[in-house]
Chains A and B, each alone.
Chain A
Amino acid sequence: MTSRMLGIGFLSPAIISVCIFFLLPVLLTVVFAFTNMSTSTGIMGGDYRINTEQLRSLPDLDVSEATVERLETAGFQITEAGLTALADQFSKDTAEELREDYLGETFESRRDLERVLKDLDEPIRRTRDRKEAADLFAVTLIGERFGTEEEFRAALGTTGIDAVDHDVLTEFAYTGWTWTTDNFSLLMELPSTLRYAANTAFYVVATLTFNILFGLFLAISTFYLPGRLANTFRAIWFLPRILPPVLYVLMWNWFTWDNGFIATVMGWFGVPAKNWMMHTSTHAWTAIVLINGFVGASLGMILFSSAIKAIPTSMLYASEVDGANRWQQVRYIILPQMRWPILFMTSYQTLSLLTSFEYILLATDGGPGRSTEVWALAAFHTALNNYGGNLQYGFGAAYALVLVFIGIALSVAYLRFFNFKELLSKPRIEQ
């Protein structure tokens, strides 16, 4: 009993971390993906308002013309607010008289109110002034803000708008976010979706291939170097990994700028200067695969190196006295025993490449055009860094949710494939 409690106690930091850093973000992503949250809706909910520009799109909503007209001018009412404005802009006496005789009264049309204004003891004489004065008492929903749905509906009731249209208008007037599955149908419709998916597939496959092959090459070639030299090489190749991404990509940028290293060197051979990273999409892809590839390869190098070192030296000796040359030793002895590290590296890197975009963001930011925009970057751009300025949190989350599902599916597949239990219990490199 106590030991069980103790176990849970020891586990709790891990459990808490998993909850905070994995479950919670996933949960939030799911929640956001089913909303239309964006900069304009905010994330806190909103109020009810219809403004003048929105009036123009009202007919699209299938409401009657009468309703639109009603919305614009629902009628006129003598209110304290209107009277104060009248006192300010015209005459106090007029306002005072109007309050005494008409406060609270409503008028169907402007003409009725104008007639009243004209017939006062202290009338407003000029026709144009009367018009303006009447407008001060106009009752309208346009531009007015209502905190809750009830208030808005109540206001609608006073305008005499056909009750049939109330629901549509309420929904239309809501400025906050709502639940919706539109994000996913939009994802299905947009041609860019396919584009991003293809980009991502290419990015993952190309980078992964480079990672593994180059990592293997580094591990094997340093294995055959004398110890000191090998360590120096490994340290150099490990730099991309430990360098802060911003610094690392900055170096690449410097390397490829129009007046950077490559351009300068190529200039000596008469090649016109250009941005070697952004010139065409081929340039951009090459740069991205290399940038990510070197980072991944250095991790692969470390993992593969230690896997090679775990091969008993006597086995390598044996292969030498058996007559195997270097190449045959690599081909028949070392590589077959690297199967598990290679598979592990492949699966691990697939997952991390699918979701990582920081190097692309820093290097090409998806450009030129959208040619290197991968899925994760698209999610980031949509939700958090939009050119237009309207950040579509909901839509971005829908992008991200797709990745979450692919990631979980892949993880489960890997777990079954590797049979991790077995992998953990028994070392794969046997004596």
Chain B
Amino acid sequence: MELRLENFTKRFGDVTVIENMDLTVNSGEMMALLGPSGCGKSTTLFAICGIHKMNGGALYFGDRDVTTVSAQGRSVGVVFQNYALYPHMTAEQNIGFPLKVQRMPKAEIRREVERLADLVQIGNLLDRRPAELSGGQQQRVALARAMIRKPDVLLLDEPLANLDAKLRLEMRSEIRRIQRETGITAILVTHDQVEAMSMCDRIALMRDGKIVQLDTPEQMYRNPQSQFVAGFLGNPPISFLPARADASLTLANGQTIERPPGLEAMGDVVLGIRPEHFGPQHGTGLKGKVVFVEPQGREELVDVRLDGGGDIRSILPAGDPIRPGETVDWGIAPGTILAFGPNGDRL
């Protein structure tokens, strides 16, 4: 079911956390709400599920206006960051709780719980209490509980934040699988770009209560609308180099590079170069000295200090015998330079 947030405003006291936000999540889509800590992701999520009242704007589930409907009256499933399982109930009772409060017959609840338990693959753990479950298993129980009512939308608030790295990887694909299998409309709140890019159809990148870009992960990575977006996405992060644009691009350190085609701006700009686009395989052009090498198994990260000042990062296949202190002259892949204006907008 499509979810539409129009002109959403949220205030706590006289602090406005979100102002006039518009967001549409298509039916069956998984949307990421991505942004740094404190940008208002959870606030948006709580407004959608009805825990927080909206101070302005409207919320639609499909054609139904649910702006003033209570949390109980909306059909949403929520997985909370700490799972919020009921400690005194077994996994089965936890999952069945949303049906129990609807006074559904016991046998039916039992059947539904088993269906969900199969979906999230915890059929053998149903009579355990949360304290007797691992983090990943608790996560699955929480997911099953959120989905048992067949809600219109599924909201996930940092669902992977409390898991260790390996489990996080596993649950990432699990959640995506379950979302795909059920075709449910979902919103994933996260501050982890990898999670957002790997799990979601589209990403809404937030900053200070505003959505700064809404795009597919590839588009957002390749085509960021602002310096903030470019800097937020990508790991290892993009390198920024201030430059002057005229006939060519003159870096602050005096080195020059060719103007990329299509760039019309003149004057002060900031160039963004992703680490995979800078290296010996792209020819020559920028001279400097290697200051730091960080092996990462398959790849290694190389920090280069340019002659005359400025740092730029490169990521290279492991095995190249590069040592700190080595002088290098590497090139930039053509057509990959991102240029931003002094206000941070993409040029």
Contact = CB atoms under 8 A, between A and B. Distances in A.
Interface of A: 312, 314-315, 317-325, 328, 332-333, 336-337, 339, 429-431
A431 B88 contact: no
Interface in B74-101: 74, 76-78, 80-82, 84-89, 97-98, 100-101
8 contacts: A312-B82, A314-B82, A314-B84, A320-B50, A320-B71, A321-B49, A336-B89, A431-B82
Nearest to A429: B87
A312 B80 CA distance: 12
B49 A333 contact: no
A351 B51 CA distance: 43
A318 B80 contact: yes
Given A337-B87, A337-B88, A430-B130, A322 B98 contact: yes
A312 B85 CA distance: 10
Contacts of A333: 86
B51 A321 contact: yes
A325 B72 CA distance: 7
A322 B87 contact: no
B131 interface: yes
B82 A332 contact: no
Nearest to B145: A322
A326 to B, nearest CB: 9
Nearest to B71: A320
A325 B49 contact: no
Contacts of A325: 72, 101
Nearest to B100: A332
B101 A332 contact: yes
A320 B72 contact: yes
Contacts of B102: 323
B84 A328 contact: no
A339 B87 CA distance: 12
A321 B97 contact: no
Nearest to B72: A323
B51 A315 contact: no
A321 B149 CA distance: 11
A315 B86 contact: yes
Contact of B80 (A314, A324, A332): A314
B78 A318 contact: yes
Contacts of B49: 321
Contacts of A328: 101
Centre residue among B70, B84, B100, B130 by max chain A CB count within 10 A: B84
Give the interface residue-count category, chain B.
20 to 34
Given A315-B84, A321-B49, A430 B76 contact: no
Nearest to A327: B101
Contacts of A319: 86, 97
A317 B51 contact: yes
Interface in B43-70: 46, 49-51, 70
B86 A324 contact: no
B156 to A, nearest CB: 12
B82 A324 contact: no
Contacts of A339: 88
A318 B72 CA distance: 10
A83 B310 CA distance: 133
B258 to A, nearest CB: 54
Contact of B88 (A312, A314, A321, A336): A336
A325 B71 CA distance: 10
A321 B101 contact: no
Contacts of A320: 50-51, 70-72
Contact of B71 (A321, A336, A429, A430): A321
A186 to B, nearest CB: 51
Contacts of B88: 336-337, 339
Centre residue among A322, A323, A429 by max chain B CB count within 10 A: A322
A322 B101 contact: yes
| Ranked 6 nearest A-B pairs via Cβ | A318-B84, A314-B84, A322-B98, A430-B87, A320-B71, A336-B88
A323 B306 CA distance: 60
Contacts of B50: 320-321
Contacts of A317: 46, 51, 71, 78, 80, 84
A321 B87 contact: no
B85 to A, nearest CB: 8
Contacts of B97: 319, 322, 324, 332
Contacts of A337: 87-88
Contacts of B72: 320-321, 323-325
A312 B84 contact: yes
B86 A321 contact: no
A323 B131 contact: no
A98 B39 CA distance: 123
A430 B80 contact: no
A357 B80 CA distance: 50
A328 B86 CA distance: 13
B222 to A, nearest CB: 37
Given A337-B87, A430-B87, A321 B78 contact: yes
Contacts of B130: 430
Nearest to B149: A323
Contacts of B84: 312, 314-315, 317-318
Contact of B131 (A315, A321, A430): A430
Contacts of B149: 322-323
A53 B239 CA distance: 116
Contact of B81 (A314, A315, A324): A314
Contact of A321 (B76, B82, B85): B76
A310 to B, nearest CB: 12
A93 to B, nearest CB: 106
B52 to A, nearest CB: 10
A260 B205 CA distance: 70
Contacts of A318: 78, 80, 84-86, 145
A20 B86 CA distance: 46
